[in-house]
Structure 1
Amino acid sequence: MTQAAIVAGVDGSAGSERAVRWAAREAVLRRAPLQLVTAMVTSRAAWMPPAFFTLVEAEAAKKVDAARLIAEDECGAGSGVQITTSVLHESARPGLIKASKDAAMLVLGSSGEGESGVAQLLGSTAIALAAHAFCPVAVIRKHSRSVQSRARVVVGVDGTKNSEAAIAEAFRAAALRGAELVALHAWSDFRMSTAFTDVDLSWETVSAAEEAVLAERLAGYAADYPDVPVSRAVVRDSPLPHLIAHSRQADLIVAGSHGRGGFTGMLLGSTSAALIEHAHCPVLVVRSRK
């Protein structure tokens, strides 16, 4: 059975170079193949000469060839990582979503050059790809540091089954890096679903219950990864500011999405969408399990 590849989006920008370098290091860690992908729109207008498309295709090939050299340098001699390149003859967003069907991970830069560039992923494009891809999506932020600079992975845990896939991926990422795992669970001091049943409970009681929820969510995975040190953090607040703060000292932050289909903002979740735009380290978005 062929091993699924890590797929990195390429457009020749600084953002895509960051994505390629990060993806190459991740391929080494996971001992996975690496596929470098760029896109070119091939719809023809009557007035466009055939030579125009020849030039466009040559430019696309040049971009992935340059990315391959970067990836080979990042992987290092003797890594054993198989690197392939491909040019998609369609626009970047649908092309990358299709490529994600057979991928282990999709890796994207957080900014790029040109409206059709694969790596121009600030805002709605990054959020759409993270929401609709069939595999985990890593978005490499402009201010991200090297994966090897610090040994810490952070995961957001919402206390429901929606975060189980993210927890599993976070434990795996921490184990591969020899990293500490920080699991953060944020709970609000007002929830409509419990507003009329919890009014007589003390905050200490509720806090203890939330800590128990977090411990329960982590228990099985901690047993599977006994060598991964785990720190638990429970806060009575919105998760976003705390996750962003933790991202300053992290190699990777892992967040869940709700799965594919539906309205993108609700599908991905406001926290994951905001992390893509504001985190200080790479963000890995993982679909919830069905």
Structure 2
Amino acid sequence: MTTEFKTKQPRQLLLATDLGARCDRALDRAVQLSQAWHAPLTVVHAFEQIEPIADTPGWRQPQDIALAIQAELVEELSETGLPGISARVVRGKPSEVVLQVAEDVQAELILTGVKRDGAFEKALLGDTVAALARQSPVPVLVVKKRLRKPYGKIVVATDLSELSRAALARAVDMFGPENLVVFHAAFAHFASRMDDRVAYESELREDAIQNCRDFIRDVAGETAAANIDVVVEYGEPDLLLESYVQDKRIELVVVATHGRSGLLGVLLGSIAIRILDSVACDVLIVRS
């Protein structure tokens, strides 16, 4: 049944930070989205244990280190000039703390950063990011790139399955259809046996594009189908997306995961986690 999706942007944002430089980019993006969507932002930092400050006398150690960190975090966040921003510092396993605070504040989007390889500036997924991607009931935005402007080029990866409807629906909800591209990686079965492989693949591509447009129409309605571009290529989705993101300077890729199993990759098999790991741009992970 066709559903007309109207823009429904998150009303409460949550940024998970380790207080390191790796999360500066995520903070900048969180502030930008908070301002654009008029959505309050909560910043959460989780710690499992805190070592005493080195070479500092005991009488200078904070009585409550968590409160001291929170006060410092609040002071830093005040420099953003963002109204409605708050901070929480909580002891516990980071992924569990983030998910609990997200539930407490009724967050509709979690943002987080990534580690980076200084030699090659490659984003490296950490355990907390991977856990949030697998377990979060709300979308998780993994920020890799520096903020230069609002998202303008957004790709929704889909295999046209029922599971992948969630990714397209949330992308339309959050960003509208105008800047979206639906990207479908297809397989040209028996192409190697055809005398005219180019003509065969061209015919299949036309059918696949029409299937994509029907899919968009079914998920998001006629308006979205008329505004969203479609790209169909043949090959492995993660490899194709990696090249497409680089060539077209894509700023955000949206993928879906299966909520019931809690495992990444049901939408595109094990490829979803490879997309998250391989593409250079930000990735929005939507639980189906």
Residue pairs, 1:71-90, within 5 angstroms: 71-72=80-81, 75=82, 81-90=83-92
Q: Tell me the amino acid that sits aligned with residue 32 of structure 2.
A: R
Q: Deviations over 1:33-84 (max 9, x none)?
A: 100101122699xxxx999773531453145225513543xx5xxxxx4111
Partner deviation per Cα, 1:223-242 (whole Å, 9 max, x = no partner): 3558x832110112111122
How has the CA–CA distance of structure 1 residues 42 and 52 changed in structure 2, closer, same or farther, with 3 Å as cutoff? farther
Q: Hey, what does 2:139 align to over in structure 1?
A: 136
- Contact 1:147/1:252 (<8 A) preserved: no
Residue 165 of structure 1: aligned partner: 166
Report Cα offsets for 1:250-281 as digits up to 9, x if no partner. Answer: 22111111114455565895333123322222
Distance 1:123 1:19 in 2: 14
Work out the CA distance in 2 between the residues paired with 1:111 and 1:86.
22
* RMSD between aligned residues: 3.3
Shift in Å at residue 162 of structure 1? Answer: 0.8
Residues 35-50 of structure 1: matches in 2 within 5 Å? 35-41=42-48
AA of the residue aligned to 2:47: M
Name the CA distance, whole Å, in 1 between partners of 2:159 and 2:63.
50
1:57 matched to 2:66: yes
Give the one of 18, 23, 35 matched to 1:16.
23
Sort the Cα spacing of 1:50 and 1:272 in 2 relative to 1 into closer, same or farther, 3 A. farther
- 2:28, 2:273 → 1: CA distance? 23
SS at match of 2:273: helix
The alpha-carbon deviation at position 6 of structure 1 amounts to 0.5
TM alignment of 1:112-191, pairs within 5 A: 122-141=125-144, 144-146=145-147, 148=149, 151-175=152-176, 180-190=179-189
Instruction: Spell out, residue by residue over 1:69-106, the C-alpha distance to the aligned partner (whole angstroms, 9 max, x if none).
Output: 3543xx5xxxxx41111112212111112233321101
Q: TM-score, normalised by structure 2?
A: 0.75
The CA distance in 2 between the partners of 1:40 and 1:250, in whole Å, is 34
**1:242 aligned partner:** 240
1:243 counterpart SS class? helix
In 2: Cα distance, 1:35 partner to 1:165 partner: 25
- Aligned pair in 2 of structure 1 residues 59, 279: CA closer, same or farther (>3 Å)? farther
Amino acid at match of 1:19: A
Opposite residue 64 of structure 1, the aligned amino acid is L
Q: Aligned in 2, Cα 1:268/1:103: closer, same or farther, shift over 3 Å?
A: farther
Q: Percent same amino acid at aligned positions?
A: 23
Name stretches of at least 5 consecutive residues in structure 1 with no aligned partner.
76-80, 113-119, 192-201
Q: Which amino acid in structure 1 is aligned with residue 170 of structure 2? A: E
State which of 61, 69, 73 in structure 1 corresponds to 2:78. Answer: 69
Residues 139 and 284 in structure 1, CA contact (< 8 A), matched pair in contact too: yes
Distance 1:122 1:9 in 2: 14
Q: Secondary structure at the match of 2:259?
A: coil
Contact 1:36 1:83 in 2 (8 A): yes
In 1, the alpha carbon distance for the partners of 2:182 and 2:267 equals 22
Q: What residue ranges of structure 2 are gaps of 5+ in the alignment?
A: 1-9, 52-57, 117-122, 191-199
Letter in 2 for 1:139: V
- SS of the equivalent of 2:32 reads helix
Structure 1 ranges of 4+ moved more than 6 A: 49-53
